[in-house]
Amino acid sequence: MRLFLGSAGVSALPEFMDGRRVIYVPTAGKPMADGGGGGESRAALVDLGFEITDLDIDGATQDEIRGALDDADGVFVEGGSPFFLLQAMRESGFDSVVVELVRDGLPYVGMSAGGVVAGPDLEPLSTTSNTSLGPRLESTEGLGLVNLVVFPHYDAPGRASEFPDVLLRFGSRFRLLPLTDAQALVVDEDGMRIVASE
């Protein structure tokens, strides 16, 4: 299994990804006023030489999702609202398809919300993200690809000051990993490590 979970920076992606055909999932940014910052990430991926195919999973079918991912070298799940993203994953069936394919070797790149949903549960983010953006969610359980919850944008204004409260409330039940916008967690055959990725 190969995972690249970050906040914003993608500079380390070329070393992580063998191929260049990437399915880009912008869905988490749909309810956000700024689109979740996806424009910058998408442009950076193109500048790094990746071939991008967009896949909005909100309203997509499992067949559409599997058809897109079957020929990809990796999937890039963009940031935005983790709760809206998880809702779209569940309703489209993206969750079950992507977990199956990632466990079979498809590289998964998750930025911000895309990284958070890869963990065991979104509950620790309920204090910092708007849960009402996922009104039909019956559970905050994540994809379970890693056994920790990424806490992204640790270096953003006010973000570090929020972390002690999150740790106090949820640290006994979840392993929490703060990441700055210039860091990413890489999981591969060599284990788990934090890398610089601006």
How many angstroms separate the most distant Cα atoms in the chain? 43
The verdict on whether 92 is a catalytic residue reads no
Of 117, 63, 52, nearest in space to 92 by CA: 63
Distances (CA, A) of 169 to 125, 127, 133, 163: 11, 10, 22, 10
The answer to whether 192 and 186 have CB atoms below 8 angstroms apart is yes
Cβ-based neighbours of 142, under 8 Å, separated by 6 or more: 86, 116, 117, 118, 119, 120, 121, 122, 149
Catalytic residue among 7, 81, 92, 112: 112
Q: How far apart are CA 69 and CA 5, in angstroms?
A: 18
Query: Phi and psi dihedrals of 65, rounded to 5?
Result: -65, -50
The verdict on whether 112 is a catalytic residue reads yes
Catalytic residue among 81, 92, 129, 153: 153
Of 15, 117, 29, 109, nearest in space to 69 by CA: 109
Taking the CB of residue 85, how many other CB atoms lie within 10 A of it?
Answer: 33
Q: Which residue reads 């999981």 in tokens?
A: 187
Catalytic residue list? 112, 153
